[in-house]
Structure 1
Amino acid sequence: MSLPIIDTHLHFFDLAQGQYSWLKHNPPAWPNLAQIRQNHHLASIPAHDRFTLAGLVHIEAGFDNQHPINELHWLAQTLTGFPFKAVGYAPIDAPPKQFSAAITRLMTPTLVAVRDITEGADSRRLHTPWLQENLIYLASLGLHFEAQLAFSQCDTIELLLTLAQRHPRLKIVFNHAGFIEQTQPCTAVLQRISTLKNVMIKCSGHEMLQSPMALDKWLGHLIDHAGEDSLMLGSNYPVSLMQKHYWQVWQDYFNVIGLSSTWHKLSRENASKCYHLRTDLD
């Protein structure tokens, strides 16, 4: 029997139609870069005898950061008929009028959230005085914020979690499990998130870590301290090609978790609720 999954974190590329300046002109020093720096579409993911890709959440990939609606239009064309939701791009530190205008331009039926990468020194942009106003505005539209920074950036994480605690309608989803490393497991952050129903964590991006725990310890640490109701699985395709092909990511997740209620929650059920994503199998 095939197991349906919802991939909560992947990217498709069309290098002819999109700009992708970060990938074309100033690429990161990733292994297997040639496999990543090419076109990736839904058809690039082959069928599998154990798993079925029942739905997906596409994360903005720099298709056109000056006009990010163009990526959403492209997705609507390339994914016609396939169950998906989209996370678009908007600068979270923009003044409220500018931010609301940017969101208005992004509004499409598949839009569910916005992401603005604030890793490292860029996390200072989350300390803008109008962060709360911008996040509450997203919540008023039924959208959420996808935060991408390390849980070890304590002051900024505290800011986001305090806002989430004060405003239950405000939803935050942390990408790549907050980049927890073997040397920085951030247990207290995970335990606090376990108490917040409006904060979720995506288990993805393991291949991006500098000193990772083994996959079984990483997933076990997340489940033990954040709790299975706070977690979702994602592939981070095609960046995951740094280490393994698409379905190997999911096979490795399955080998750790096994067929269980935890697997069903992390591989599909939590994602369906978080992203309001119904699949053809529902």
Structure 2
Amino acid sequence: MSAERIDAHQHFWDPSRGDYGWLTPELPTLYRVFGPGDLKPLREAANIARTVVVQAAPTVDETRYLLDLARDDASIAGIVGWVPLDALNAVERIDELAREPKFKGVRPMLQDLPDDRWIENPQLTPAVHALIKHDLAFDALIFSRHVPSLKVFAARFPELRIVVDHGAKPQIKEGKEGDMAWQSWADGIAELAGLPQRLHCKLSGLATEAAPGWTVSALKPYVDHLLEHFGPERLMWGSDWPVLNLNGDYAHWFDAARQLTSRLDAPAQEAIFGDTARAFYRL
């Protein structure tokens, strides 16, 4: 087992590129350039060697921008980009991007799409077969309401490697263990984790979903549930930096995640903080 730590989910962006949509001056904490130089001291303080950079704009141009950053930076282990999976030229785009050694997968921004069942669209089939052909991964950015459609999608493509981003974004600030929001999320996690193709899940994004001033104890039921159902061999830690800065910081979330997994043995902790991501993304 390697002890090299990997951050399985973070972002770089430059608002002046103009294709983010959601990233506006009304989010002053995030509305600036965030690049590898900004992350380096935070990453090194947590002894994290490499990261997976995930798309933040629904454009191929942004994916190329990230691949350009990755080309000369050994700390960027892989890029999860964006492709219009339902477009006529989707297969051609995937074939082109797959020639880049650090292109590791795609992420349609499912949470932002008006149709919760978009992922069931049969027009996606050629593109998904191209992902499978190139051994690329699929990041599912979902809420619990998307679980039924993701199950249909997963059953349709049993060879596709799928990871659920941000633990399916539980409503931590609104709910508590045992209420309806909790139960909907908890049931969805159990269903996804139980699928035969063994979906993976990211231990990320939970700080953003929690109330301001969140504590380790507030996150514990959610992390425990993810651990119970996915296990360390299918969970990977991610910072979701710099989105994380809206309700926390790199060191605080990393330390919280270490505390929340401290009861596990060393190989299990190494899986969550590096080995699972390395294997899943073929890093």
Q: TM-score if structure 1 supplies the norm length?
A: 0.82
Quote the Cα distance in structure 1 between the aligned partners of 2:67 and 2:192: 37
Aligned 8 A contact 2:154 2:160 in 1: no
Say if 2:106 is the partner of 1:117: no
Partner of 1:215: 219
Report deviation, 1:198. Answer: 4.6
Partner of 1:280: none
Aligned 8 A contact 2:81 2:107 in 1: yes
Aligned 8 A contact 1:144 1:172 in 2: yes
For 1:187, the aligned partner's letter is D
Q: How many residues get paired?
A: 262
Aligned 8 A contact 1:118 1:149 in 2: yes
Q: Aligned pair in 2 of structure 1 residues 238, 146: CA closer, same or farther (>3 Å)?
A: same
Select between 249-258 and 172-181 the one with higher mean Cα deviation: 172-181
CA deviation map 1:194-243 (0-9, x unaligned): 45445211121113437899211110011112222221111110000011
Q: Aligned pair in 2 of structure 1 residues 137, 105: CA closer, same or farther (>3 Å)?
A: closer
CA deviation map 1:21-59 (0-9, x unaligned): 4255x46x6xxx322111212221325786211111000
Aligned 8 A contact 1:60 1:71 in 2: no
Partner of 1:106: 97
Q: Aligned pair in 2 of structure 1 residues 216, 135: CA closer, same or farther (>3 Å)?
A: same
Partner of 1:143: 136
Q: TM-score if structure 2 supplies the norm length?
A: 0.81
Quote the Cα distance in structure 1 between the aligned partners of 2:250 and 2:79: 20
- Match for 2:165 among 171, 175, 178? 175
Aligned 8 A contact 1:89 1:114 in 2: yes
Q: CA RMSD in A?
A: 2.7
Unaligned runs of at least 5 residues, structure 2 = 176-180
Q: Aligned ranges for residues 1-282 of structure 1 at < 5 Å?
A: 4-16=4-16, 18-24=17-23, 26=24, 33-45=27-39, 46-47=41-42, 51-62=46-57, 65=59, 67-77=61-71, 79-95=72-88, 98-107=89-98, 108-119=100-111, 121-164=114-157, 167=158, 169-181=159-171, 182=175, 183=181, 184-187=184-187, 189-209=189-209, 214-258=218-262, 260=265, 261-277=267-283
Q: Aligned pair in 2 of structure 1 residues 197, 127: CA closer, same or farther (>3 Å)?
A: closer
Quote the Cα distance in structure 2 between the aligned partners of 1:124 and 1:39: 34
Report deviation, 1:138. Answer: 0.6
Task: Give runs of ≥4 in structure 1 deviating > 4 Å.
Answer: 47-50, 210-213
Aligned 8 A contact 2:9 2:54 in 1: yes
Quote the Cα distance in structure 2 between the aligned partners of 1:203 and 1:65: 26
Identity in percent = 22
Quote the Cα distance in structure 2 between the aligned partners of 1:192 and 1:15: 35
Quote the Cα distance in structure 2 between the aligned partners of 1:66 and 1:158: 27
Report deviation, 1:247. Answer: 1.7
Q: Secondary structure of 2:274's match?
A: helix
Unaligned runs of at least 5 residues, structure 1 = 278-282
For 1:178, the aligned partner's letter is A
